[in-house]
Structure formats: C-alpha cells, structure tokens
Structure 1
Amino acid sequence: MTDTLAIRPAVPGDVPAILDFVRALAAFERAPDAVKATAPMLHDALFGAAPAAEAVIAERDGAAIGFAIFYTTFSTWTGRRGMWLDDLYVAPGARGSGAGAALLAHLAGIAVARDYARFEWWVLDWNLPAIEFYRAKGAVAQDEWTVQRVDGAALHALAHAAPGERG
C-alpha cells in the first residue's frame, strides 16, 4: 500500500459516497434527521444542466475518505466573487491524516486561481477541534455577524405577505 492522498473533482459516480458523507456529517453535527437530500437531488445540484455547487473528493489509495462541497458567492464590497464552503468532512478513521488540511488547501487554491476575494464557511461554535484547526490555517472569526434564516412555513409566509406586511 502506498498511502497516497489525492484531492480530485467529484464525478457523477461519487454521488452515493457524497450522500453518505453528508449523512455522516449531519450525525456528527447532532442533526441526523435534517438531511432531506437524495442522490438524484445531489446529482442534479452537482452535475445537472445548471450546477448549484461543486464537490471535491479526498482519496487515500483510491478510497474516498472525505469531501468538500462549495459554491460561488458575490460581495458588493469587494466587487468580486468568493467561495462558500458548505461542507467539509473527513471520515473518523482518516482524521489527523492531513486530508482535512489538503481539502482546505485545495479549495484555497481554486479560490486563488479564480481570483476570488474571499473563502468563507460556518463552523458550529461547539466544534472546538474544527475551530482550532481553522485558526491554525489562518481563518478569522466573523463573530460580529449573525446568521439569519427564513425557511419552511415562514419562508412561504414571507413570500406571500401583502406589500404593507413586508416591512
């Protein structure tokens, strides 16, 4: 065994493994029932006519051990695109092997090559090992910003609010 780590673009045949990683990540993040995505949904989002995101796979000796999914953002302040890392996951048995660092560096390389102004992501405030890992890689917390979300029934109510009720 050569113990070779590689990062490569995902291909359609990776969708089942990506979905497995997404489910494992959700379980780790204490939300195992939150995943609604299906293999066909992920296939369309990553490889359909209008892809919503891109994915890369971390492999050790040809076996998938992790993944990252990312997409393009835009900042009016910089006037340039950026990269949003939606998910980064390394299987428990491969943690500490350099796969997470390799995934992060690979994505940073894509951002630099595409002349993106930013590379951003969320991390749960209780995930101290991840926070320490990201800080060691040069990430800076944006603690003055809070995430706001409207989904489900509230999203539909907002979309259908009368003009005077919209604010």
Structure 2
Amino acid sequence: MSAFEVAKSPIRRATAADIPHILGFIRELAEYENEPDKVLATEDLLAETLFGSTQYAKVLIAQDDDGTPTGFALYFYNYSTWNGRPGIYLEDLYVQPKYRRKNFGTLLLYALAGELKQIDGKRLEWSVLKWNTPSIEFYKSLGAVPLDEWDTMRIDGDRLTKLAEKAPFIGF
C-alpha cells in the first residue's frame, strides 16, 4: 500500500443504504435469542428513527474485505449523573455466525470505546441474556464485568400506555 492509499476499515458508520442489512441483522439476532416474533421494526421505521430528522440511535457496520456487511452495533448515548459524563448504551451487537471468531465483534467494541474517548465518555454498558454463555465469556475476555446487583426493568406495550395516560402535561 502506498502512502496515498487508505486502508479499508472493517468498521464503518452505517448509512441509510444499510437499512436492509440492519433489519436483517435485527431479525437474525431475534432468531438467535428465540424471540423472532418480537421484531416490530421495519425498513421505514429504521429510516425514520436512525436516519431521519431526529436520530435516536447510531449504527456501526462490520464488513469483510470485499465490503460485505458481517454484523452491526446499534447504540445510543446515555448519561451518568455520578460521573457527570456521557456514556454509550449498546442496544444490539450481532455478528453473523460464519463471521464469528474473526474479530468483528471485538472491532465493533473497540470502535465504541474509541467513540467514548472522543466524547470524554466514562462507560459503555449493555445487557446480555443470562443463558448466552458464549457472549458473556466473550465480553468478560474484553474486560467487561457483570453488574449482578442490578436488575433490568422494563415497561412496554399496554403497561406503557396505561402509565402514559397518567402523565401530567408538561409541554412535550
């Protein structure tokens, strides 16, 4: 490679052209997690929420040498009141089975750590299913520690609708 050539990175920021791949990865991940019927996302919803006027999350794409997408990381910024600094919450990390153990997952996490350094962020967090031993071991090998004293809480569906009905008007 000459001094004027730029090496092709295996990790890049997603564009709207990646929406079909992103949705495919989401569906494959849901299949892996035994929840294929839970995916409500569509290409139109992803276009609106990831690449529209308000971008609620960001996506990194892992790709092989010929540019074929191999996996993704979907994430958004959060905030630590104790640190007084931003962080990143990794919503989904997925690498297709035939590309696993080829460093794509590691490189996606390196890229997120690099982004955190750029924004002076202080923590990278995510959830992993307790039965997903291969992923847990992979994350631990990179230095992640489980937060056993914390439980994940969620309100969605009808419960969220009922809760929102009680919201005081504050000018949203």
The answer to whether TM tops 0.5 is yes
Partner SS for 2:37: coil
Matched, 1:69 2:74: yes
Deviation readout 1:5-31 (Å, 9 max, x if unpaired): 610000110000000000000000110
Distance 1:160 1:59 in 2: 44
How does the TM-score come out when normalised to structure 1?
A: 0.92
Distance 1:143 1:51 in 2: 31
Q: Once the 2 structures are TM-superposed, how far is the Cα of residue 155 of structure 1 from its aligned partner?
A: 1.1
Partner of 2:35: 31
Unaligned runs of 5+ in 2: 1-7
Partner SS for 2:111: helix
Partner of 1:129: 134
Partner SS for 2:120: coil
Please list, as runs of the form range in 1=range in 2, the aligned pairs for 1:33-72 lying within 5 A after superposition: 33-61=37-65, 62-72=67-77
Unaligned runs of 5+ in 1: none
Of 16, 20, 24, 2:20 maps to 16
Q: Once the 2 structures are TM-superposed, how far is the Cα of residue 162 of structure 1 from its aligned partner?
A: 8.8
Let me know the Cα RMSD of the aligned residues. Answer: 1.4
How does the TM-score come out when normalised to structure 2?
A: 0.89
Native 8 Å contact 1:73 1:81 kept in 2: yes
Partner SS for 1:82: strand
Partner SS for 1:33: helix
Matched, 1:103 2:108: yes
Distance 2:164 2:60 in 1: 34
Moved over 6 A (4+): none
